[in-house]
Amino acid sequence: MTTQWNHYINGDFVAPSSGEFIHEFVPMTGLQGDQIARGSAADVDQAANSAAAVQPAWNARKPIERGRILLAIARLIRTNAAAFCAKEAEETGKPVKMAAFEIEACAQYFEYYGGLATAIQGETINLGPNYHAYTTREPFGVVGVILPWNSPLNQAGRAIAPALVSGNTVVVKPSEFTSITMLQLAEMAVKEAGLPAGVLNVITGTGKETGEPLVKHPLIRKVAFTGSVRAGKEIGKLAADRIIPLSLELGGKSPNIVFEDADLDRAVAGSVFAFTVNTGQVCLAGTRCLVHESIYQKFAKKLASAVEALQFSDGENFGLGPLTTKAQYEQVHAYTKLAIQEGAEQLVGGDVPSDKAGWYVRPTVFTNVNNSMRIAREEIFGPVLVLMPFKDEQEAVAIANDSEYGLAAGLWTSDLARAHRVAAQIEAGQVYVNEYPSGGVETPFGGFKQSGYGREKGLEALHHYTQTKTTIIRI
């Protein structure tokens, strides 16, 4: 039995104006799952109008009251975590225990930004005794949030919580592959946490039919996009046409550098996690592993054993899940084939597990790779790693920075001076030392170069969901 899910607009489930629905799929089996509403420009219009109608009243609330509602949402996410985890696991294919980490992160975004509600402040500027000048941080109005499928509620919380706490209202378009937990969260926020109807609306559907009308809608005053470079460019053009601010959280091909003075066992375990977590479907995945030539052979041997020892999850416990979409599964296979054509050698992985019905792949590591090959330059978004030696710090930095992307980088070293020296030279929005990934809801996150612009997380995100007004009074 599959369920049909409508949009969530103005505190109610609303049928799509087209009357049409789209099937999601269950990655563990490859079979059809629940259906979601196929959103159109008319549905987006209804949601944007609802969000705009209640925005002035939401913004007029005392910040401490907005914060209290966000804290209630955080509490309820935790109370209902088991249900959210089960649905998120069904939609994405990730093990339930892994989904639990992400649902907890979502709760933490509401908790963190709820707690910061009263800390959104301006400043006074001294222009001499005849003036009083000050700044205020004001919301944009209605924010459009467009999300991918790899960590649905985690990324939703990351964008929605700072947008709401700053006095904006929101229309979200989750990925057409993983929309349902977002609908459940919005309903819970309104029905149980006290969020006024219309402050958070969810429109489901495809990028072209639903996402584009959202970016183009005149009532949408800022867009927060997380997804591919391809879609980011399309959205960037639409946003440029309307001169609305945009934050782009895009992809990566992140370097993970292992120096000869690293704790080898920790570096191996961390490097495996860096490219296999969430079956490699993570924007910040460390997919280019650069290893000092003096430890390269030893590292490769240990890495191969560690990758071979990885187990598939039973759906509940930790382990590898399937890829979330069929297209992603096909893409990973196309890249592993391309790697061989380009002359790379497969150290481990490659074959398909024969006893699995869903979109499972084995983590695969390639050697004999140079940084100009496509498998070293393009984001694969699956558990595929290229291993490359380097001779000194300078060469490691040069290879690391020789990429169109700049989302994250890892360093493994026991030399603190080296850690700081290399971190300073890396072109990436995040540098992790001796852990990959690292950080929390408090640490700003975003990309250099083609990995995007703007920042989510931390205090910094609040600057992206507010605009500064300066008032100057002649006394």
Q: Which residues bind ligand NAD (CB under 6 A)?
A: 146-150, 155, 173, 175-176, 206-208, 211-212, 215, 226-228, 231, 234-235, 249-252, 283, 379, 381, 407, 447, 452
Minimum separation from the CB atom of position 153 to ligand NAD (A): 12
Q: 249, 379, 427, 456: which one is catalytic?
A: 249
Smallest separation (angstroms) from ligand NAD to the CB of 303: 23
Angle, helices 63-79/96-115, rounded to nearest 10 degrees: 160
Residues pairing with 380 in the sheet: none
- In the annotation, is 378 catalytic? no
CA distance 469 to 192: 34
Q: How many CB atoms lie within 10 A of CB 120?
A: 23
Please tell me the distance from the alpha carbon of residue 302 to that of residue 278, in angstroms, as a whole number.
Answer: 21
CB of 285 to ligand NAD, least distance (A): 8
Where do we find the tokens 């026991």?
A: 414
| Residue 21: closest CA among 204, 213, 207, 214 | 204
CB environment 23-46: b (16+ within 10 A), e (fewer): ebbbbbebeebbbbbbbbeebbbb
Q: Is 249 a catalytic residue?
A: yes
Give 346 or 438: the residue with its C-beta nearer to ligand NAD.
438
Q: Which of 88, 102, 106, 283 is catalytic?
A: 283
Q: What are phi and psi of 422, to 5 degrees?
A: -75, -45
Task: Please say which residue, 72 or 229, places its beta carbon nearer to ligand NAD.
Answer: 229
Token output for 39: 């959103």
319 versus 444: smaller Cβ distance to ligand NAD: 444
Q: Among the residues of 12-128, which ranges form H helices?
A: 41-60, 63-79, 81-92, 96-115
Here the tokens at position 119 are: 């800390």
Cα end-to-end distance, the chain, whole Å: 70
Measured distance CA(412)–CA(426) in Å, rounded: 14
Minimal distance, residue 237 CB to ligand NAD, in Å: 9
Which residue, 291 or 379, is less far from ligand NAD as judged by CB? 379
Nearer to ligand NAD, 6 or 154 (CB): 154
CB of 403 to ligand NAD, least distance (A): 13
Residues with a catalytic annotation lie at 249, 283
